[in-house]
Structure 1
Amino acid sequence: MPSPASSRIDGRTTRWAGQRERRRREFVEAALRAIAHHGPGLPIERIAEEAGVARTRLYKHFADASDIHRAIASRVVELLNAELAPLWNLHGSPREMIAAAIDTHTRFLSERRHLYLYLGMYALSQRDPDGDAVNDVKTTIGQHLTRLFEYYLTTFGLRTLVAQPVAFGLVGMVDATVARWLDEPSELRRDELVGLLSRWVWAILDDTLRSGGVELDPDAGLSAPDLPFP
């Protein structure tokens, strides 16, 4: 049976751990505000300034600068995955699903550009129990689309070997095109860009299906599989 003294020590330890975790979250949220305002390449001093503390104060709650960046990147992944949730529940016709996915992605890049760039600069390097790297959001989307394409290719009796290169090729095309559009604004509106990209994506998917002898009506309803979150 634990003594009263050890119980008090355990209680203080638990409270300190909870307070430390709360302060870490507060510092991370301050960092997100600073990134949104100043851009992804901000120094640690700017994060401390946004949090209203000295830089040395941050290091009482984080092991080092890498620990700070990992905590921020983890939070960014949480936020971006939440915003990209519609990508995991696509439904409707092929044309509708493509347009919805691209609209979600382009809106997210437009509104969270600095956070997305930050994630690219400080990519997570944590490992899951199986030893696979935790990849950035682009890779997560590519993996999800790969499984989606594998499902449909199997349904249509086609080989699934092309699923991954097609999925990642489309993600790369859309991401690079939108990133360039954001870096060099033009008179092209976002909805017009979404329309262009949607047509290009369908052209690639249609060619992939036709090469296997499948002709799919892009405006006909298509049942979506219940795939788990990546």
Structure 2
Amino acid sequence: MTSEGVDTEPLDGRRRRWQEHNQVRRQVIIDAAIAVLERQAPGEEVQVQAVADEAGMSRTVIYRHFEDRSDLDRAVQRAVCEQVGVELLPALSYDGTPDQIIHRIVGSFIRWAEAHPTLYWFAERDLAGWGPSPLSQAVEQVAEGIEGIMAIVVAAMGVELSDDDRAALDPWVFGMIGAVFAAVRRWLERPVREPGIDACISILSESIWLQINGMALSRGLNLPDLPVAQLLQTLGPTDDASSEGGA
């Protein structure tokens, strides 16, 4: 028993260090793949050898850390989507009126996509047999942020949504944001990116706000033109706690 205890601890330590080493090597490979992508045009196939050269290792070493090409591609997609999440996180704050927040979120995303068109193209790629693209997580993150804003506004107005409206909120908002992502992809693919980026941001932001405001007006609601943070302060402790997820 004692001898097992003596032997196990060094083994666990070596295993942990080996796992950490593998994680570092995986990240080096992922970073190398992203660097190669950034130098290429959207749609241009990335060669594993180019990734290996960028990472300073052989193709054989790369496949020691990834099961196959699809595994590598999926890891790169996740890393790119994490970049999108980092870019969007500050925009998801409750600083500003609802339409200002929407404009800020859309603007942050479009500016990132314009700066990294190949990464956006790669993140959207459908890897057969691997389930939904990691980019859907970014769509969900934005949709949840906008849902949170809408929930605060509705609660501050003392409005009770119908069961159908409440149930439809998630797919409706998800669909709106998904449409923006698709519009940005189309805009990036145009030979000449028209309209200009500022106009593109304004038009897509306005389209979201008009849908939200239009749905509210059709139900007799006049949305207040007040900062969401101010509306949040008007809520009681119960409502406030239920809305914390988007803060």
Specify the TM-score bucket, using the shorter chain as the normaliser: 0.7 to 0.9
In the alignment, which residue of structure 1 is the partner of 2:237?
none
CA drift at 1:89: 1.1
Deviations 1:98-117 (A, max 9, x none): 22122112112112322222
Contact 2:22/2:65 (<8 A) preserved = yes
- Is 1:180 matched up with 2:186? yes
Q: Secondary structure at the match of 2:220?
A: coil
Contact 2:38/2:119 (<8 A) preserved = yes
Q: Which residue identity lines up with residue 201 of structure 2 in the other structure?
A: V
Determine the C-alpha separation between the residues in 1 that align with 2:3 and 2:121.
Answer: 51
Q: Which residue identity lines up with residue 15 of structure 2 in the other structure?
A: T
Determine the C-alpha separation between the residues in 1 that align with 2:216 and 2:56.
Answer: 56
- Is 1:97 matched up with 2:101? yes
Question: Greater shift after overlay, 164-173 or 23-32?
Answer: 164-173
Determine the C-alpha separation between the residues in 2 that align with 1:2 and 1:113.
Answer: 58
CA drift at 1:51: 1.5
**In the superposition, relative to structure 1, how do residues 65 and 211 fare at CA in structure 2: closer, same or farther (>3 Å)?**
same
Q: Which residue identity lines up with residue 116 of structure 1 in the other structure?
A: Y
CA drift at 1:213: 0.6
In the alignment, which residue of structure 2 is the partner of 1:46?
50
In the alignment, which residue of structure 2 is the partner of 1:194?
201
In the alignment, which residue of structure 2 is the partner of 1:137?
138
Determine the C-alpha separation between the residues in 2 that align with 1:187 and 1:80.
Answer: 23
- Is 1:59 matched up with 2:63? yes
Determine the C-alpha separation between the residues in 2 that align with 1:6 and 1:166.
Answer: 54
- Is 1:209 matched up with 2:211? no
Q: Which residue identity lines up with residue 188 of structure 1 in the other structure?
A: P
CA drift at 1:126: 7.9
**In the superposition, relative to structure 1, how do residues 139 and 7 fare at CA in structure 2: closer, same or farther (>3 Å)?**
closer
- Is 1:21 matched up with 2:23? yes
Cα RMSD of the aligned pairs, angstroms, is 3.1
CA drift at 1:194: 1.7
Deviations 1:168-201 (A, max 9, x none): 2321332222222221134522112222223222
CA drift at 1:30: 0.6
Question: Greater shift after overlay, 2-11 or 111-120?
Answer: 2-11
Determine the C-alpha separation between the residues in 2 that align with 1:140 and 1:168.
Answer: 9
Q: TM-score, normalised to structure 1's length?
A: 0.81
Question: Greater shift after overlay, 23-32 or 65-74?
Answer: 65-74
Q: Which residue identity lines up with residue 147 of structure 2 in the other structure?
A: T
Determine the C-alpha separation between the residues in 1 that align with 2:168 and 2:107.
Answer: 25
Contact 2:148/2:246 (<8 A) preserved = no
In the alignment, which residue of structure 2 is the partner of 1:130?
none
Which of the two has greater helix per residue? 2
CA drift at 1:47: 1.7
**In the superposition, relative to structure 1, how do residues 172 and 2 fare at CA in structure 2: closer, same or farther (>3 Å)?**
same
Q: Secondary structure at the match of 1:161?
A: helix
| Matching residue within 10, 34, 37 for 1:35 | 37
Q: Which residue identity lines up with residue 137 of structure 1 in the other structure?
A: A
Determine the C-alpha separation between the residues in 2 that align with 1:8 and 1:202.
Answer: 59
Determine the C-alpha separation between the residues in 1 that align with 2:202 and 2:168.
Answer: 25
Question: Greater shift after overlay, 13-22 or 206-215?
Answer: 13-22
Q: Which residue identity lines up with residue 71 of structure 2 in the other structure?
A: D
Q: Secondary structure at the match of 1:63?
A: coil
- Is 1:117 matched up with 2:124? no
Q: Which residue identity lines up with residue 48 of structure 2 in the other structure?
A: I
